[in-house]
Amino acid sequence: MSAEPLSRSLGDTTYESASGRLDAIVRRLDSGEAGLRETLELCQEAKQLVEFCAGELDAVGKGLEELRLDELVSRLDGARPAP
């Protein structure tokens, strides 16, 4: 394998490192060189990484929504006439 597998906990994993590991897994599977047991292990790891990445994307999306709401509130407050 071209990259070391991530620990099962994914504790210090970033989206970028998980995405890079997924790329390495796909390359390994596409090479046709992985045996049956390695293929199973790679697929299990890939599933865990995909779930991690989906959670990261969801969290970032929610953060962006909150920023847009804060921006909207600020604009609305600025548009209100002074008392």
Provide mean pLDDT across the span 43-72.
92
Q: What percent of the chain has pLDDT over 70?
A: 84
> Domain locations in the chain?
15-79
pLDDT at 69 exceeding the cut of 50: yes
List pLDDT tens digits, range 37-54.
999 999 999 999 999 999
* Alpha-carbon distance values, 47 to 6, 35, 73, 83 (Å): 12, 18, 39, 57
pLDDT at 62 exceeding the cut of 60: yes
Paired tokens of 22: 């997924």
